Structure formats: structure tokens, C-alpha cells
Amino acid sequence: MAEKVDLLAVFPDLEPAANAVERLRALGVHDDRMNVISGVPVTEAMLGRAPQWTNVPRIAMGGAILGFGVGVFLAYIAPFLYPYPIQVSTQGFVPGPPTAVVLFEMTMLGMLLSTFLGVFLESFFPNYRPMKYLPEISDGKIVVFFECAYAEENKITDALKKLGAESVRPAEAQPL
């Protein structure tokens, strides 16, 4: 079994980081073994990486449908749940136009709550375990975390340094 080693490379800027990703791929590090962490939303396209999959829009849609269901319940079912429905003025038990208000608000509430929840689910928040991280990231550095064969460590380190890496060193999970 080939020994694997976790490394990180710190880049001051987007350009060298993107080059480094390309170089790592050429050196045989698979995309799945790489993780780029940055302090601004650097898109996958800028780094030349495959688009990230996110379920947030689907979760939002699901929440919207759920919220709409709650709205339907409140507007059309709830008035008849108890032994006698209540008459106000000459309006029907289910008021016409006002149901639109209820359906709208409940749909939006469901959608927005689930969008928020979706971020938590998709990003595994909250998560307070030690993780691979460098505080410099929030200062604008871009850090590429990757895993490579022990034998290739030196070769890759040299290559990344040539591309402008400020430092390449072993990565360790640490409390954030």
C-alpha cells in the first residue's frame, strides 16, 4: 500500500492557485483529492474545477411545496376541523381572495426556512470538530489542500513553489 500524505499549499492570489490546480492534476492528483479554501467566493470555473453540486435549490423547492401544503391546510381544511365552522358576516367559511394571502405567505416561509436549513444540511453546519484550515484564509490567501503519494511529496512541493506557492507543508486538522 502506497503511503499517502496530506499537504497544503498557500497562494497569495487566484491566478497561481488556479495554475496549481492544473499542475496538480497533471502530476496525477485526482480532483477529488483536492480542496480549495478561500476567503472570497472563488467559483469553480475560475479555478478550472468541476462545478460543485448543491441541493440548496431543490431543498428550497421542497420547502416551498411543504409551505404551500401548510397554507392549503390552514386555508381550506382547518376551518372545518372542529365540530362547527364559524360564520362571520356573510363571507363563506373559506374566504376567497384572502386564501391567496395565506398560501403566498406560507409558501414563502416554507421556501426560505428550508433554504436556510439547506445551507446547514449541505455544508454540515454546525460543525465544531477540528478541521484542516489556516486562519490566513480569511485574510485573502487561497489554500489548496491535497493528498498525494508520499513518494511524490518533494516533487509536487517543488512544482507548486515554482508556481508561486508561499509555502507547502503538511496539513493537519486543528480546532478552528
Q: Which residues of the shown chain bind another protein in the complex (CB under 8 A)?
A: 35-44, 46-47, 49, 52, 54, 56-57, 60, 74-75, 78-79, 81-83, 86-91, 95, 98-99, 101-102, 104-106, 108-109, 111-113, 115-116, 118-120, 122-129, 131-133, 135, 137-140, 176
Compute the least distance from the CB of residue 64 to another protein, in Å: 9
What is the DSSP annotation of the chain?
---EEEEEEEESSHHHHHHHHHHHHHTT--GGGEEEE-SS---HHHHT-PPPP--HHHHHHHHHHHHHHHHHIIIIIGGGTSSSPPP-TT--SS-HHHHHHHHHHHHHHHHHHHHHHHHHHHTT-S--S-EE--GGGGGT-EEEEEEEEGGGHHHHHHHHHHTT-SEEEE--EE--
Nearer to another protein, 2 or 90 (CB): 90
Compute the least distance from the CB of residue 90 to another protein, in Å: 5
Nearer to another protein, 151 or 173 (CB): 173
Compute the least distance from the CB of residue 109 to another protein, in Å: 4
Compute the least distance from the CB of residue 122 to another protein, in Å: 4
